[in-house]
Chains A and B, each alone.
Chain A
Amino acid sequence: GAVVSQHPSWVICKSGTSVKIECRSLDFQATTMFWYRQFPKQSLMLMATSNEGSKATYEQGVEKDKFLINHASLTLSTLTVTSAHPEDSSFYICSGKGVTYNEQFFGPGTRLTVL
């Protein structure tokens, strides 16, 4: 299967700061990338879907001004959590899908802790 990386794998920040998470497809071109959030012992929650070169489509209830998504190239998407607060602490996971694939391939996730 295809490989997706995420950086950083974990981050601790102070309340009010912004955090950027990178998601890269290493051996395929991810025309579509998805961003998920998962709280402990809960299911995956899709935050947004982005196609390369287009604005992201956010799910209902996800603040687009707080969670900035950029998908500027076929191998890189970034999620910036702006003015993070403790309630934003969660496991953030990206996934990528290429043109020739029907399935999504997940990155290893980023654990965000906001103090």
Chain B
Amino acid sequence: QKEVEQNSGPLSVPEGAIASLNCTYSDRGSQSFFWYRQYSGKSPELIMFIYSNGDKEDGRFTAQLNKASQYVSLLIRDSQPSDSATYLCAVRVETYKYIFGTGTRLKVLA
């Protein structure tokens, strides 16, 4: 069974620090990887996606992909209290099939 695993947290970081969120996946053939943010009571919103090994930066966010280790991470620099949310990792395993992790809850302490 194809799986995506995340630590449920909560991950607590002080304001201004770097938050590091991790995700592992089981399907070695996966090609596309996504990070979504979900605030309590709201639906997920896309933060960024990554397809190639290495780093991809977008503002304060950096996604890192290591296909050999089947590992995706999201770094949030200069964390703010408004970043406190649940972060969902998603992997596209087939054309119309995505597997979501259960999410990591991040708390940024003011």
Contacts and interface: CB of A to CB of B under 8 A. Distances in A.
A106 B97 contact: no
A77 interface: no
B44 to A, nearest CB: 5
Contacts of A1: 46
B75 to A, nearest CB: 20
B65 to A, nearest CB: 14
Given A44-B88, A51-B96, A106 B49 contact: no
Interface in B19-40: 32, 34, 36
Contact of A32 (B36, B46, B88, B96): B96
Interface residues of A, number: 19
Contact of B100 (A32, A44, A97): A44
Interface string A83-115: 000000001010001000011111111000000
Interface residues of B, number: 21
B74 to A, nearest CB: 15
A86 to B, nearest CB: 20
Contact of B46 (A34, A51, A103, A109): A103
Most buried by B among A51, A104, A108: A104
A102 B49 contact: yes
A25 interface: no
Contacts of B45: 106
B9 to A, nearest CB: 12
B98 interface: yes
A98 to B, nearest CB: 12
Nearest to B103: A43
